[in-house]
């Protein structure tokens, strides 16, 4: 499949075929795509742990189950637990990674002088900032970039996925032998879709001009209808949800998979106010959807 069509066909899938295992080699391809992603200084802070449902203890499945995860957790045969390992940013490691970029002729033009500039110019600043950078926006963006690449490869391989909010460290740390430097980011269900690949249509997104600007915030980057038409032909832009038969498909899925009419995997604990005013779902983890 062409890249633009893969992007167009990707949509979150929550109903999987529980009887159809995911091939190990397809998961390997997803992980390789994640390994090929870009990131700050090539420190590669992304980590993923593959969890096969049929080999996981009930305790582990319970611990990784997110609040909005009923259908996925009931039906997906595999999961990838993605996390940020802040140890990847440790100052000597970070500087070492930059040196390797110089040695492999990816940055700078002269190896010795580039390394000297890294040591003299960057090391002092990075030494002061690495602990903050390791949990800063760019570190999590890079985990996201890796997950996005893995996700697109999954769809290219005929798989489907659903990213879910991450279990909390205290719930899974021991069960997964996580290092203290792990910061959980996301749990991704992986499997073969029980839904038609259309899944009732492409997920509707906010208008283009409301998201993207030109030169300054508030001046929309105006989309050219001819380009939209080209992307429609290339299947990146597809028929929006819900397609006419979605209602019937959902009923069919619920019956075929023996699912209850609910989306939450367990009752939500009462929301408690947090410092920034956002509601927290307490021990159950943040409910992102
Ligand atoms: C980081 C992340 C966390 C998410 N958490 C959940 C979740 O806990 N439960 C769920 O049902 N969907 C979850 N989703 C799926 C989103 O609801 C979905 O991606 C969104 O509706 C956009 O749809 P699309 O992926 O089809 O474009 C999550 C997605 C992301 C990227």
d(CA 150, CA 144): 10
SS3 annotation, the chain: CCHHHHHHHCCCCCCECCCCCCCHHHHHHHHHHHHCCCCHHHCCCEEEEEEEHHHCCHHHHHHHCCCCCHHHHHHCCEEEEEEEEHHHHCHHHHHHHHHHHHHCCCCCCCHHHHHHHHHHHHHHHHHHHHHHHCCCHHHHHHHHHHHHHHHHHHHHCCCEEEEEECCCHHHHCCCCCCCCCEEEEEEEEEECECCCCCCCCECCCCCHHHHCEECEEEEECCCCHHHHHHHHHCCCCCCECCCCCHHHHHHHHHHHHCCCCCCCCCCCCCCEECCCCCEECHHHCCCCC
Question: Closest ligand 1 atom, CA of 288?
Answer: 5
The pLDDT value recorded for residue 268 is 72
Question: Closest ligand 1 atom, CA of 67?
Answer: 8
Which residue(s) pair with 161 in the sheet?
Answer: 190
The pLDDT value recorded for residue 258 is 97
pLDDT by residue for the chain (289 residues), tens digit each? 999 999 999 999 999 999 999 999 999 999 999 999 999 999 999 999 999 999 999 999 999 999 999 999 999 999 999 999 999 999 999 999 999 999 999 999 999 999 999 999 999 999 999 999 999 999 999 999 999 999 999 999 999 999 999 989 889 999 999 999 999 999 999 999 999 999 999 999 999 999 999 999 999 999 999 999 999 999 999 999 999 999 999 999 999 999 999 999 988 766 555 444 333 333 333 444 4
| Residue nearest ligand 1's atom 8 by CA | 164
Expressed in angstroms and rounded, the spacing between residue 205 Cα and the centre of ligand 1 is: 13
The pLDDT value recorded for residue 257 is 98
The pLDDT value recorded for residue 272 is 55
| Residue nearest ligand 1's atom 21 by CA | 289
Ligand 1 pocket test, pick from 161, 164, 206, 240 with the greatest ligand atom count within 8 Å of Cβ, gives 164
The pLDDT value recorded for residue 266 is 87
Residue partners of 94: CB distance under 8 A and separation at least 6: 41, 43, 88, 126, 130
Expressed in angstroms and rounded, the spacing between residue 80 Cα and the centre of ligand 1 is: 14
Expressed in angstroms and rounded, the spacing between residue 165 Cα and the centre of ligand 1 is: 8
| Residue nearest ligand 1's atom 10 by CA | 289
Ligand 1 pocket test, pick from 6, 9, 12 with the greatest ligand atom count within 8 Å of Cβ, gives 12
Expressed in angstroms and rounded, the spacing between residue 178 Cα and the centre of ligand 1 is: 24
| Residue nearest ligand 1's atom 30 by CA | 163
- Find the residues whose C-beta lies inside 6 A of ligand 1: 11-12, 14, 66, 68-69, 162-165, 186, 203, 288-289
With 0-12 CB in 10 A as exposed, 13-18 as middle and 19+ as buried, what is 102? buried
The pLDDT value recorded for residue 279 is 34
The model carries a pTM of 0.93
End-to-end CA distance of the chain: 28
The pLDDT value recorded for residue 277 is 36
Question: Closest ligand 1 atom, CA of 10?
Answer: 26
Q: Report the residue count for the chain.
A: 289
Ligand 1 pocket test, pick from 11, 48, 81, 162 with the greatest ligand atom count within 8 Å of Cβ, gives 162
């Amino acid at each position: 499949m062409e890249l633009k069509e893969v992007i167009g066909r990707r949509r979150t899938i929550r109903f999987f075929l529980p009887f159809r295992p995911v091939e190990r080699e397809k998961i390997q391809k997803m992980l390789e795509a994640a390994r090929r992603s870009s990131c700050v200084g090539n420190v590669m802070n992304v980590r993923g742990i593959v969890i096969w449902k049929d080999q996981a203890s009930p305790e582990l499945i319970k611990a990784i189950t997110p609040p909005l995860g009923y259908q996925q957790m009931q039906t997906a045969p595999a999961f990838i637990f993605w996390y940020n390992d802040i140890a990847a940013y440790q100052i000597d490691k970070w500087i070492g990674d930059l040196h390797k970029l110089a040695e492999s002729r990816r940055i700078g033009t002269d190896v010795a002088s580039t390394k000297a500039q890294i040591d003299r110019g960057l090391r002092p600043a990075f030494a002061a900032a690495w602990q903050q950078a390791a949990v800063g926006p760019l570190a999590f963006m890079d985990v996201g970039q890796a997950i996005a690449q893995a996700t697109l490869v999954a769809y290219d391989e005929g798989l489907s996925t659903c990213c879910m909010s991450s279990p909390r460290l205290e719930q899974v740390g021991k069960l997964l032998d996580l290092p203290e430097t792990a910061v959980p980011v996301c749990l991704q269900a992986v499997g073969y879709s029980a839904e038609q690949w259309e899944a009732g249509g492409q997920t509707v997104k906010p208008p283009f001009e409301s998201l993207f600007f030109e030169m300054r915030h508030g001046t929309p980057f105006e989309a050219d209808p001819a380009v939209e038409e080209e992307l429609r032909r290339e299947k990146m832009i597809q028929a929006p949800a819900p397609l006419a038969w979605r209602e019937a498909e959902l009923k069919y899925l619920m019956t075929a998979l023996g699912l209850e009419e609910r989306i939450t995997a367990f009752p939500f604990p009462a929301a408690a106010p947090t410092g920034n005013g956002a509601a927290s779902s307490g021990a159950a983890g943040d409910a992102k959807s």
